[in-house]
Structure 1
Amino acid sequence: MRRGRALRYSFAYFLPIIVCFSLLKGGFWLAAPLLYLYGVLPVAEWLLPQSTRNLPEDQEAHVAKDPLYDLLLLMALPVQCGVLVLFFSRIPSYAPLELLGGTLSVGLMCGVFGINVGHELGHRADRLAQRVAQALLMSSLYTHFFIEHNRGHHRHVATPEDPASARYNESLYHFWCRSISSGYISAWQLEAERLRKLARAPLGIHNQMLQFQLAQLLLLAAILATFGPVALVCFIGAAIVGILMLETVNYIEHYGLCRATLGQAETGPARYERVQPRHSWNSDHWLGRLSLFELTRHSDHHFRASRRYQILRHHDDSPQLPAGYPAMMLLACVPPAWFRVMNPRVDAVRPVPASH
């Protein structure tokens, strides 16, 4: 029974199966991953009931320690590498439209497996999980996320200091530009701050941001040398798709929500209330929960960042998205429709004026 609960998260691996099948078949089949993620899943989540059930507290400790849950995450790295190699090997046989379809399909993998699973493993304390997280993020050229998300986003979420928290009435496209650029700059600043506390040179060999940039450049050089310039361009395109997926998820997870200000210090930023479940949008649509390793239970993730995905909880006071993540991502691409659906919900759950 317990193993069956863990194995249900293997549903997430349906995406790489579809991607591999589409890469091998080529032609119109290359549209299948996109249709699955943004066609089949939204409709299925609309038809199926949500689940607010939480794991009983007396079972949490055992489930949290079950290595099968971690194995399902660690498997993502060889799967992601395998998909990339398959894609690169198929590129010479593709027509231009097939290259576009393949790039979009692999881009979905970069977002769902590269960044999402890398995000979950990046919260682990053990060295293996952190190295796998960094490797997965590198497969999407977004290694700085490892620094900015853990040291910046979780500290500043739902405040003006956080690049990854969408402002009220901010469009998705403006958010992409602000979050991507400001998040990258923030990662450099956070790493320099860490090194100064250790009395080390901010731009020395111990700087993780420098290490990450070098590793990514070496990866690009290896792809160019092994598979050629077309593969390099397609890989960069797929990484961009993954990055935009991640930033769209960031957008829907915190749109318009703000933590109350407790006071303004004479120097430095304002002080804010502690992060609560009400500061993140939540989704209990269970297909999305399985597909994204419970990322959609985002309220509890921010409330207890150390809580592993398999024991994340539903909170009655967390604001709920009206649809699952895939449908909300599509809605966010049409700002007038997004504002019409979400602004009244923001107004209903936060006590402050809608100016943030």
Structure 2
Amino acid sequence: MLWEVDQKVKEAADALHPSSNVDHMQNILQDTLIHCWELLLKRHSATMQIDAKFQDLLFRALDYYVVGRLHEMLWWLVCERCQVVDQLVKTRLSHLRHAHLSALQLGVPAHYYTPLPAAVVELASLASVESAIGRLQCVHSTIELIQAQAKEARVTLHQYKDQEGEPELELTKEELMALLTTVVVQAQCSHLVANIYYMTHYVFSVTEDDPLWKSLGLLRNTLENIMKLDVARLPQPAKSIRKELSLQDLMQVSAEVESRFEAKGPSRSIGDITALDLQLHQLTQQIQLSTQAHSETHLTERNSPSRRSDRTMLSPTQDNSKSHSFREFLSSIPSSLRESLRRRQSQQRSAIQSSLNG
């Protein structure tokens, strides 16, 4: 069966040309998907053929496989088209990273703030996924990790303080976008606009009401907000957050955290203990246990990375024409596949389902 599918994919590859427009390439890919879907569906029992969930699952699997086999060709074309705007976004993300942008500055409550390493790693792995639907799943997983880690921090803080009632777990849309903004800045993906273009045009098995598609919309909105951010006008955090520490710095932070918790004693109702404090406290305890277990191990201090020139901390010149170019390019990317393509896909699948049922 896969040999027959691969033959259809090869025919699709031969029909795709760098000069082809997006509509033409979408039609070729969709026809290939529909043909392979019908081919594989007919190899199963009559019960499976008419099972709607199985039909959708099979179509999703083919979306991964077929577009994945053509990924190198499609991705190269997308990057060529988006390279100028992607460079604008890359420069902006680099500036925000060196400015140490924090979710606290974007309105996330200080007592709920927590780092999001798993979400950063997930989004940073975007380039290693070789299909449009796979990358869309990666974006969705990133947002799910943000929500899970934020909820975990809130539950931990609630339990530590022995507060009554249930903690507020649901993030507001503003909080979620603020946290996603910091994750995007930390992940420093090189081709975010190209990825949005790629996922919008070359995902065929996701409808507009699917959570995956809503995640893509959230990423688009977040990127638009990032390009409009003026760091100079954001409130400055009361205490700067250091994201790179030498061994000596880490030992000092650990001592400070432990002294704070010892000073609190048995009281847990004091309001200045935050989710970040609890995370640092747990890390400190892990360091102490590790030090005890490896007391004979000689640790050598590693020099901190050299600081960049203070010039990199300055806001880049606000170029209205560049910002306009970004907004204009992003607005030209549809929020979904063309309606005519969706309609034709629905008609093709309905016709095949009718023939199977008959």
For Structure 1 versus Structure 2, the TM-score category normalised by the shorter chain is: under 0.3
Normalised TM-score (structure 2): 0.27
